[in-house]
């Protein structure tokens, strides 16, 4: 029911006055009709689903309304009267039953569970090809709804009628031709008070009366406005894209500047390598100085050598030098003390007395110095005497 009514609606869009975007959206709904029909307006379920589908498939959607199955032209039925219906197995009928419907007024009466509803649904299925109650209960396969529970199968009811010529003919199911022939009894009471209802409620009652309530519910669950809660309609993504493009342009300019700096650095590196050794590259010099994973570089070798203690050039040690230094200080102190003692003693010496003593000793040792016993000659003795005289 929903799909057939929606296909009728699509025919109204096959016009140049309808913008292409509307037709693309209508084709999107048609392609995902079952999934969308199962969703309602709670928390925007349906519109969120439509937005997701549109974002994923918008570029591939056609803006043309595709050729639709031909719908039967609604016209006066050539059948003047229903004559009979053969039904079973079907719903509450486990075996075949034949009903005579040739009277102009047929009343079905019986207690609960005797098959009144099954009879009405059999007539509905025989004339329309579907049962609205099965659609309202979300049966994907109406056969699961229509089969008899005892034998687990159903047969399509056969409805016969009388033509304008009075001939008995089998009536083919035609939803377009017979869809408004069925009014469910429970809906008549509400419809009788339609004049007291608001326009929106009147529309709902009319759709319910003629079995279009499921399609009306399907239409009502579409959100009237698709605002910023569901899709970016203010260009936020475009603004973000512009910012990213601006950032990309700046990055590209920086890359260009960095490339120029790298070229300049390469020239400086090569000049530095040439100063180290001609025909050598900077990387080669770098490996020689810093080394690689296999061999240590010159810098590491120098550091290793510097960490080694120097070779000993003599037998001197720090302790020996410290001992010698202490001994020298002690000797200097003793020398200074002796010099002081000598200076003190020199003040006590009388050279005149010494001379007199030497003169007195001259007679006992004329050939030698009486003081130091040095051999003397006459001239030197006179000189010594004179010297001693001057000292005195």
pLDDT at 276: 83
222, 169: one domain: no
Count the residues in the chain: 392
Q: Considering the chain, what is the average pLDDT of its residues?
A: 77
DSSP string, 140-152: SSHHHHHSBTTTT
Cα 56 from Cα 48, distance rounded (Å): 12
What would the two tokens of residue 219 be? 């239409």
Q: Is residue 375 classed as helix, strand or coil in its secondary structure? A: strand
* Residues 116, 155 within the same domain: yes
- Are 209 and 191 in contact by the 8 Å Cβ rule? The answer is yes
pLDDT in tens, 331-371: 999 999 988 888 887 777 677 777 777 777 767 766 777 66
Mean predicted confidence (pLDDT) in 100-116: 87
Element holding 82 (H helix, E strand): strand 79-87
| 197-221 average pLDDT score | 61
Mean pLDDT for the stretch of residues 215-237: 66
Shared domain for 243 and 300, answered yes or no, is: yes
**Dihedral over Cα of 127, 132, 133, 135: its sign:** positive
Alpha-carbon span 124 to 161, nearest angstrom: 15
pLDDT at residue 389 above 50? no
User: Residues 24-44: what's their mean pLDDT?
Assistant: 77
| 302 and 321 assigned to the same domain | no
End-to-end distance of the chain based on CA atoms, in angstroms?
A: 162
Domain assignment present for 189: no
Full domain range(s) for residue 265: 237-308
Q: Let me know if residue 61 belongs to a domain.
A: yes
Burial class (CB in 10 A: 0-12, 13-18, 19+), 212: buried
Query: What is each CA distance from 283 to 206, 267, 272, 291, 304, in whole angstroms?
Result: 89, 13, 11, 10, 23
Burial label, 306 (beta-carbon count in 10 A; 0-12, 13-18, 19+): exposed
Whether 222 and 149 map to the same domain: the answer is no
Q: Token digits for 268?
A: 């400086």
Q: Are residues 248 and 321 in the same domain?
A: no
Query: Does residue 137 sit within a domain?
Result: yes
Query: What pLDDT score was predicted for residue 132?
Result: 74
* Domain-embedded: residue 345: no
**Residues ≥6 apart with Cβ < 8 Å to 205:** 187, 190, 191, 194, 197
pLDDT value of residue 391: 45
205 torsion bin: left (phi>0), alpha (psi -120 to 50), beta (else): alpha
Give me the pLDDT at residue 229, please.
67
pLDDT tens-digit series, residues 40-84: 777 777 778 877 888 788 788 887 777 666 554 444 557 888 899
Do 359 and 386 reside in the same domain of the chain? yes
% of the chain residues with pLDDT over 70? 73
2 in the same domain as 59: yes
* Helix extents (H) in the chain: 2-11, 20-31, 33-37, 45-57, 116-128, 132-136, 142-146, 175-178, 185-191, 199-209, 213-220, 236-276, 282-290, 298-307, 318-346, 351-362, 378-391
The verdict on 164 and 205 lying in the same domain is no
**185 domain-assigned:** no
Report DSSP state, residue 193: T
Q: pTM for the complete prediction?
A: 0.39
Q: Tens of pLDDT along 83-102?
A: 999 998 998 898 999 999 98
Cβ atoms of 285 and 277 closer than 8 Å: yes
223 and 294 both lie in a single domain = no
Pair 58, 11 in one domain: yes
Same domain, 270 and 355: no
Please check whether residue 85 lies inside any domain of the structure.
yes
User: For the chain, what is the domain count?
Assistant: 5
Residue 3 lies in a domain: yes
Residue 191 lies in a domain: no
């Amino acid at each position: 029911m929903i799909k057939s009514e929606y296909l009728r609606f699509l025919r109204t869009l096959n016009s140049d006055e309808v913008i292409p975007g509307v037709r693309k959206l209508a084709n999107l709904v048609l392609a995902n009709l079952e999934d969308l029909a199962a969703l309602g307006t709670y928390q925007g379920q349906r519109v969120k689903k439509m937005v997701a589908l549109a974002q994923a498939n918008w570029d591939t959607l056609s803006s043309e309304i595709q050729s639709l199955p031909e719908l039967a032209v609604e016209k006066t039925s050539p059948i003047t009267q229903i004559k009979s219906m053969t039904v079973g197995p079907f719903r509450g009928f486990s075996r075949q039953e034949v009903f005579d419907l040739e009277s102009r007024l047929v009343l079905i009466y019986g207690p609960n569970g005797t098959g009144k509803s099954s009879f009405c649904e059999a007539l509905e299925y025989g004339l329309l090809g579907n049962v609205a109650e099965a659609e309202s209960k979300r049966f994907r396969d109406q056969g699961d709804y229509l089969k008899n529970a005892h034998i687990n199968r159903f047969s399509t009811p056969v409805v016969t009628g009388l033509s304008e010529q009075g001939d008995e003919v089998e009536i083919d199911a035609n939803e377009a031709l017979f869809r408004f022939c069925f009014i469910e009894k429970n809906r008549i009471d509400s419809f009788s008070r339609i004049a007291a209802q608001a326009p929106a409620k009147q529309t709902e009652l009319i759709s319910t009366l003629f079995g279009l309530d499921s399609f009306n519910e399907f239409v009502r669950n579409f959100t009237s406005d698709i605002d910023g809660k569901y899709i970016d309609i203010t260009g936020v993504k475009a603004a973000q894209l512009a910012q990213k493009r601006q950032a990309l342009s700046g990055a590209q300019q920086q890359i260009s500047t960095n490339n120029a700096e790298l070229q300049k650095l390469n020239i400086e590196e090569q000049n530095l390598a040439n100063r180290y050794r001609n025909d050598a590259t900077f990387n080669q010099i770098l490996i020689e100085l810093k080394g690689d994973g296999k061999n240590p570089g010159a810098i590491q070798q120098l550091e290793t050598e510097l960490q080694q203690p120097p070779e000993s050039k003599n037998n001197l040690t720090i302790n020996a030098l410290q001992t010698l230094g202490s001994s020298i200080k002690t000797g200097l102190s003793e020398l200074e003390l002796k010099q002081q003692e000598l200076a003190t003693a020199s003040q006590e010496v009388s050279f005149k007395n010494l001379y007199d003593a030497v003169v007195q000793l001259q007679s006992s040792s004329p050939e030698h110095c009486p003081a130091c016993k040095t051999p003397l000659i006459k001239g030197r003795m006179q000189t010594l005497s004179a010297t001693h005289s001057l000292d005195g």
